[in-house]
Amino acid sequence: MLQKGDQAPDFTLAASPDKMVTLSDLRGKNVILAFYPADWSPVCTDQMGLYNEMLRFFERHNAVLLGISVDGKWCHQAFAKDRNLHFDLLADFEPKGAVSRQYGVYKNGESLRALFVIDDQGVIQWSYLSPIGENPGADGILQALETMNATA
């Protein structure tokens, strides 16, 4: 798994059937990558719902949140609509898990539950691998963003 100080690998993934997101296009903003196993699973649903509620706090730190799993763009679109999510869910679907593999968080056909906070220059400032059945919450993300702002 990539760690603090590593350059975040660039990628382009589908956020919907007609929208692509490229990490390097977000330079100048802090980026939170929330890798998760699957749309619709109970823990993932809770985790993404919590992050949806935390968006205004992330935005105060000039941060963009991106959810990433190996589910397809149509599945993500239905999940985001059903859960009223206001951030992009990216489909690491084809080739399956390619981005998750780059970040070292792919196992047994799915993304592990992992978090990365990337600074405005594309360098990882914090990472965390959570047990698969446990919602990692948002405290670590907020602490990382606050630390980055304090040292900027």
Q: Which residues are catalytic?
A: 44
Q: pLDDT of 35-85, one tens digit each?
A: 999 999 999 999 999 999 999 999 999 999 999 999 999 999 999 999 999
- Per DSSP, 147 falls in state H
Taking CA 37 as the corner, what is the angle to CA 58 and CA 18, rounded to the nearest 5 degrees?
70
Which contiguous run of DSSP H or E holds residue 142?
A: helix 139-151
pLDDT of residue 152: 64
Domains, the chain:
12-151 (3.40.30.10)
Which phi and psi angles does 70 have, rounded to 5°? -85, 0
pLDDT at 150: 85
